């Protein structure tokens, strides 16, 4: 990857810009401004979700940017309160209405095992996913996939659906590498998107990363984003500050050496451990 608009190619041939702009925990004017700044800075891939409660503001920023719809890759996600064929279709159309778009580039099932549907979650994931497949056939979504799925969730889904997931968006940052699920996705040509590539802000105290940042004359955030790209992941850094949004896009003028990649690969996780996905309480 040489620039922000360079693309990965999903397993259905759809191209996806190699860094996405994350919007988790931004709402209202903050979400609006940050998306507008991101688009002004050259990002062409915006990641949101129904549960972020910012789809309207994200959509307004996209519209106000003046950039044509086809140039921007938009992802949103099905939240845990909705499962099943009809309700999933309705939720997806509602997200599109809020975003003010007539198609989505990528739609994901946000979590595999919502507390509300725990008894029957695998079968309901399949039902929801079938609705997503039909929305693809109707031309309303260009690519579909999942988020936070572990191998057993993926295996069950893939046994029961026609379109292989194009993406699995999971938490990946230095110290949290989720080796098994990554290997599974790589083997199956499912693109790994990395959410919280900066450990949701807490990565900045890690001394090993501070040393590498000094060595390369880059910020810790830039080291983390570059690491994610060199792993073949698609990072989704989030910021509400214009100068950081720009900084996080300037990761194409240096390359981490194999030795330094190895150092990052073997860091312990100094941050929050991965949640027990099958026992979350939402």
- Interface residue with ligand A2P among 17, 112, 174, 199 (CB under 6 A) is 199
Instruction: Kindly determine how many residues on this chain lie close enough to bind ligand A2P according to the rule CB under 6 A.
Output: 17
Closest separation between CB of residue 238 and ligand A2P, Å?
4
Q: Are 194 and 224 in contact (CB under 8 A)?
A: no
Q: Are 206 and 174 in contact (CB under 8 A)?
A: yes
Q: Are 109 and 122 in contact (CB under 8 A)?
A: no
**Longest Cα–Cα distance in the chain:** 54
- DSSP annotation of 165 reads P
Q: How far is CA 277 from CA 33, 126, 189, 280, in A?
A: 32, 18, 22, 6
Cα separation, 192 vs 214, in Å, equals: 28
Closest separation between CB of residue 64 and ligand A2P, Å?
20
Q: Is 237 near ligand A2P (CB under 6 A)?
A: yes
Active site residue 52: yes
Pair of tokens at residue 233? 């992941």
Q: Is 175 near ligand A2P (CB under 6 A)?
A: no
Q: Is 83 near ligand A2P (CB under 6 A)?
A: no
The residue from 8, 32, 43, 52 that is catalytic is 52
**Mapping DSSP to helix (H, G, I), strand (E, B) and coil, where does residue 110 land?**
coil
Q: Is 200 near ligand A2P (CB under 6 A)?
A: yes
Considering beta carbons, is residue 33 or 160 the nearer one to ligand A2P? 33
Q: Is 219 near ligand A2P (CB under 6 A)?
A: yes
Considering beta carbons, is residue 101 or 203 the nearer one to ligand A2P? 203
Considering beta carbons, is residue 147 or 239 the nearer one to ligand A2P? 239
Which segment (74-82, 89-97, 181-189, 233-241) binds ligand A2P by CB under 6 A? 233-241
Q: Is 239 near ligand A2P (CB under 6 A)?
A: yes
Cα separation, 148 vs 166, in Å, equals: 14
Which distant-in-sequence residues (6+ apart) come within 8 Å of 202 by Cβ?
A: 270, 271, 272
Q: Is 248 near ligand A2P (CB under 6 A)?
A: yes
Considering beta carbons, is residue 113 or 222 the nearer one to ligand A2P? 222
Q: How far is CA 184 from CA 17, 98, 156, 158, 161, in A?
A: 22, 34, 13, 12, 17
Q: Is 240 near ligand A2P (CB under 6 A)?
A: yes
Cα separation, 111 vs 281, in Å, equals: 11
Q: Could you tell me whether strands 15-17 and 7-9 are parallel, antiparallel, or unpaired per DSSP bridges? A: antiparallel
Site residues for ligand A2P, 6-35, by CB under 6 A, read 22
Closest separation between CB of residue 93 and ligand A2P, Å?
28
Cα separation, 120 vs 11, in Å, equals: 28
Considering beta carbons, is residue 22 or 59 the nearer one to ligand A2P? 22
Considering beta carbons, is residue 75 or 239 the nearer one to ligand A2P? 239
User: What is the contact surface with ligand A2P in residues (CB under 6 A)?
Assistant: 22, 196-201, 219, 221, 237-241, 244, 247-248
Active site residues: 52
């Amino acid at each position: 990857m040489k620039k922000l608009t360079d693309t990965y190619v999903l397993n259905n041939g759809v191209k996806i810009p190699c860094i996405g702009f994350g919007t988790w925990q931004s709402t209202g004017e903050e979400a609006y401004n940050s998306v507008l700044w991101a688009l002004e800075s050259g990002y062409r891939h915006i990641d949101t979700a129904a549960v972020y409660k910012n789809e309207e503001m994200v959509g307004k920023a996209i519209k106000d940017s003046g950039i044509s719809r086809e140039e921007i890759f938009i992802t949103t996600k099905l939240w845990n309160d909705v499962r099943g064929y009809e309700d999933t279709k309705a939720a997806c159309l509602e997200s599109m209405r809020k975003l003010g778009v007539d198609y989505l580039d990528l739609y994901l099932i946000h979590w595999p095992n919502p507390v509300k549907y725990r008894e029957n979650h695998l079968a309901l994931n399949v039902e929801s996913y079938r609705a997503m497949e039909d929305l693809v056939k109707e031309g309303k979504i260009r690519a579909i996939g999942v988020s936070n799925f572990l191998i057993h969730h993926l295996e069950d889904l893939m046994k029961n659906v026609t379109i292989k997931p194009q993406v699995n968006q999971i938490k990946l940052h230095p110290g949290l590498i989720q080796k098994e699920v990554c290997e599974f996705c790589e083997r199956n040509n499912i693109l790994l998107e990395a959410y919280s590539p900066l450990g949701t802000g807490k990565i900045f105290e890690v001394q090993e990363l501070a040393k590498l940042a000094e060595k390369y004359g880059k910020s810790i955030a830039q080291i983390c984003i570059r690491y994610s790209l060199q792993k073949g992941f698609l990072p989704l850094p989030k910021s509400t500050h214009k100068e950081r949004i720009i900084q996080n896009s300037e990761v194409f003028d240096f390359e981490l050496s194999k030795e330094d990649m190895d150092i990052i690969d073997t860091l312990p996780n100094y941050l929050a451990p991965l949640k027990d996905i099958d026992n979350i309480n939402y």
